[in-house]
Structure 1
Amino acid sequence: MTKTAGRFAPPDIQGLQGRAGDLFQLLRDGRARTRAELAITTGLARSTVASRIDALISSGLVGPAGEASSSGGRPPSRFAFNPAARVVLAVDVGATHAVVAVTDLAGSIVAECRLEQEVADGPEAVLGRILALAQELLAEAGRPLKDLAGVGIGLPGPVEHDTGRPVKPPIMPGWDGFDVVPYVQRSLPVPVLVDNDVNIMALGERTAYWPEHSNFLFIKVATGVGAGIISSGQLQRGANGTAGDLGHVRVPRGDDVLCRCGNYGCLEALASGPAVARQLQAQGLDAATGADVLRLVREGRPQAVQALRQAGRDVGDVLAAAVNLLNPSMVIIGGSIGEAGEHLVAGIREVVYRRSLPLATAHLRIGISMAGPRAAILGASQMVTQHVLSPDVVEATLAGSAIAG
């Protein structure tokens, strides 16, 4: 078992309304506080704070965290967020694999398993295997179904986030318009949230390692190429869930290169793992996949190093325009090629810093993913906790518990 916890950005105190769900947002950073400290911070009456804390303790979301020092008399009790109160099922579906994990409400991974499978097998086959594995992992973690707060799923294609339906995904035959949410809820009757895999990678990477950056781009370079865009702290999905589809932006040098989308010169057709492998294969090297490209780079083959550096320049050509348009302070390169491709990142930096406006790059950092292959799992977990721990949902949960009681 491994654990990887994220960081939580504190809420705006001015926006608190005095409900238990609002008060809970202050405690989500994990720092223990007394009732008196909460009353001072929020401006609420101590009696109001006491009743809200009692409700949160009853729900299990908040628990005792020792005693504060006393200047005389009985020491006051401290309370803190209890991330172990519930668990989240986080799922990362890739083109040729799926990773399923159980996390606590702070994003710490308590059980995890990788499943080798083809997304092209279709939604029912893929989701059926994932749901069976999910039951095994919940049992391994010692958590009954009633402890499950929600399910977060990342898919390798455009997703209509409000419904969870894939929208014409190019590498997912049989998935277009499939009702993922109700299918999963037949086995797991909890909130189910679905998004594009690069979006949740951006969410996971930023939450865990770069919460201070409100304008953030995550670039995935793997079987395909895509971007997750966070602007002013909010994930940007676009009108139809296709925001960030850098892979099908035209690259000038690719006029004669046909992409699987039917257009010529797409970035994915030149800079993805399979595309670079095809270029090396044409030079007589043994390369069929992105993994082969990285192997050849590790072996010191100059053709592979040059090809990966050129792929980085191609990504940089497209990314330079995005940097001018969105003005991020942080760009992170991830995906199976991006995480291991230092030469790729060098090519990206070379072009972005040369082609973007000086003002846009004055404080811009470009780096390699720190979350690595766990970025999507952390993001899927975060997507669920953002929903189930929001003020309105916590308030509704507490009201439901009171009625049930």
Structure 2
Amino acid sequence: MTDAVTTATPARAEDGPGRILELIINGSARTRTGIAQITGLSRSTVGQRLDTLFDAQLIQESSDNVPSRGRPSRALELNPRAGVLLSVDVGEERTRMAVLDLNMAILGDRVARLALGDGPEILLDRITAVLRELIDHLGLDQTAVAGLGLGLPAPVDYEAGRVQGWSIMSGWEGYDIRRHLRRSWPVPILIDNDVNLLTLAEHRRYWPGQRHLFFVKAGTGIGSGMVIDGAINRGAQGAAGDIGHAHVAGFGDPQCRCGNAGCLESLAGGWALARDLREGHDARDVADRLRRGDSAAVTGLRQAGRIMGESIAYATSLLNPDVIVLGGLLATTGDDLLAGIRQVVYQRSLPLATRQLRIVSTRYKSRAGIAGAGYLVRDHVLSPAVLDACLAVGKSPFAGAGAGS
């Protein structure tokens, strides 16, 4: 891949080492010449910025050569082992914990059945214990931890890092999760709703060129996330995308587990399908019946798709996304759910909103939540503002954060 060629612009104060690293990571510039062309910085200034990044062991020369008008240049790349990222995806039934390098490659992961009802102190201590075992197993106890990302199946106040409002995580509301984890991990800790992390992973991995994306998770519950103008939109208090607890008219008003009646989740969520089928209690039980070709389960899923389509059609008119992505366990069982959603969305929404709209299933087979937590942390610790603030005082961005601490 060659460097992007753009018209040079005047150097700006924000074109520090962090901005240079950002260009290298996103592939906009992979050589000194390419960086100078994009930023307008002199070659000597580019050299100084790169020396700072080399000294911090954040970049390295690739084995690849980048073609140029003169001699081929050695490509620059992020050093993936400068630190590791800890990612945790807490689910209703299972929790996945992983260690990633800075290139988002999973070095190792573990899945454990951790009961949300045990409360935050017990569950967070168990997560820490599993992460430490994983780090030791991988021989990474002397490697710096860049940060820890945690996804929760609940509304999250992103700035405070706390569960807020009703959720299936009874006993967690207001608990200082970040403070608890920092006893073991003195690193940046970022906490978000699990569907926001699925949305982030989907956008960054498969749809980086699209500015507006709507993601729907169809599992035991139903949730959604939004990318608006290229960034995750969490709303004012972190409640944006709570599509599962919006009322849907015309299909009856069964009781929802949130206490209201007629919520989308109470009509089309995995637990609601299991209720109607009178077998099991969650999306996994429904998926097992679907894989066996159970006709009642197939009929129920198709109807669920049409009901979900009503809510998604409204979101389509409201948000006008480029792409709608369907994920979650129920989305992995075939095309019945997707077909029902497509039918209603294209029928209900105006042609202007659907003219170029794509409605697709996720390409992630698993570990999307882990990837999202990793992106969340890496984006923060390597953001130009955060990185430049560390480097300006001669501090390594991951100093004092050894995995064995």
Q: TM-score, normalised by structure 1?
A: 0.90
Aligned length: 391
1:102 corresponds to:
99
- 2:16 partner amino acid: R
1:4 corresponds to:
none
The 5-angstrom pairing of residues 311-390 of structure 1 reads: 311-390=304-383
Deviation at 1:134, TM superposition (A): 0.8
Is the partner of 1:328 in helix, strand or coil? coil
1:260 corresponds to:
257
Structure 2: which 5+ residue stretches go unaligned? 400-405
- 224-233 vs 29-38, which moves further: 29-38
Is the partner of 1:134 in helix, strand or coil? helix
Q: 1:240 to 1:185 in 2, by over 3 A?
A: same
1:122 corresponds to:
119
- 337-346 vs 23-32, which moves further: 23-32
Deviation at 1:18, TM superposition (A): 2.7
Is the partner of 1:90 in helix, strand or coil? strand
Assess if the C-alpha contact under 8 Å between 2:8 and 2:37 holds in 1. no
Q: Which residue among 22, 25, 29 is the counterpart of 1:25?
A: 22
The 5-angstrom pairing of residues 178-197 of structure 1 reads: 178-197=175-194
- Residue 231 (1) aligns with residue 224 (2): no
Deviation at 1:71, TM superposition (A): 8.4
Deviation at 1:10, TM superposition (A): 12
1:133 corresponds to:
130
Residue-by-residue CA offset, 1:300-348 (whole Å, 9 max, x unaligned)? 2221111000011111011100000000111111111123242111111
Q: 1:263 to 1:202 in 2, by over 3 A?
A: same
Structure 1 CA distance, aligned partners of 2:314 and 2:69?
60
Assess if the C-alpha contact under 8 Å between 1:254 and 1:266 holds in 2. no
Assess if the C-alpha contact under 8 Å between 1:29 and 1:81 holds in 2. no
Q: 1:87 to 1:10 in 2, by over 3 A?
A: farther
Q: 1:11 to 1:177 in 2, by over 3 A?
A: farther
Residue-by-residue CA offset, 1:151-183 (whole Å, 9 max, x unaligned)? 000000000000101002421111000101111
1:90 corresponds to:
87
Assess if the C-alpha contact under 8 Å between 2:78 and 2:103 holds in 1. no
1:310 corresponds to:
303
Assess if the C-alpha contact under 8 Å between 1:335 and 1:373 holds in 2. no
Q: 1:353 to 1:145 in 2, by over 3 A?
A: farther
Q: 1:201 to 1:170 in 2, by over 3 A?
A: same
Q: 1:10 to 1:232 in 2, by over 3 A?
A: farther
Q: 1:329 to 1:71 in 2, by over 3 A?
A: closer
Is the partner of 2:367 in helix, strand or coil? helix
- 1:356 partner amino acid: S
Q: Which residue among 236, 242, 248 is the counterpart of 1:251?
A: 248
Q: 1:59 to 1:121 in 2, by over 3 A?
A: same
Percent identical among aligned pairs is: 44
Q: Which residue among 152, 155, 159 is the counterpart of 2:156?
A: 159
Deviation at 1:107, TM superposition (A): 1.3
Structure 1 CA distance, aligned partners of 2:122 and 2:215?
30
Structure 2 CA distance, aligned partners of 1:271 and 1:51?
57
Q: 1:173 to 1:38 in 2, by over 3 A?
A: same
Structure 2 CA distance, aligned partners of 1:10 and 1:257?
58
- Residue 299 (1) aligns with residue 292 (2): yes
Deviation at 1:13, TM superposition (A): 8.4
Q: TM-score, normalised by structure 2?
A: 0.90
Q: 1:117 to 1:11 in 2, by over 3 A?
A: farther
1:6 corresponds to:
none
2:216 corresponds to:
219
Q: Which residue among 168, 172, 175 is the counterpart of 1:175?
A: 172
Q: 1:260 to 1:75 in 2, by over 3 A?
A: closer
Is the partner of 1:175 in helix, strand or coil? coil
Residue-by-residue CA offset, 1:124-167 (whole Å, 9 max, x unaligned)? 11111111111112223322365100000000000000010100
Structure 2 CA distance, aligned partners of 1:382 and 1:69?
30
Is the partner of 1:88 in helix, strand or coil? strand
Assess if the C-alpha contact under 8 Å between 1:333 and 1:339 holds in 2. no
Assess if the C-alpha contact under 8 Å between 1:83 and 1:104 holds in 2. yes
The RMSD of aligned alpha carbons is 2.5
Higher helix share: 1
Deviation at 1:41, TM superposition (A): 3.1
Structure 2 CA distance, aligned partners of 1:12 and 1:25?
18
Residue-by-residue CA offset, 1:176-226 (whole Å, 9 max, x unaligned)? 001011111100100000000000100011111111111001101112111
Structure 1 CA distance, aligned partners of 2:118 and 2:169?
8
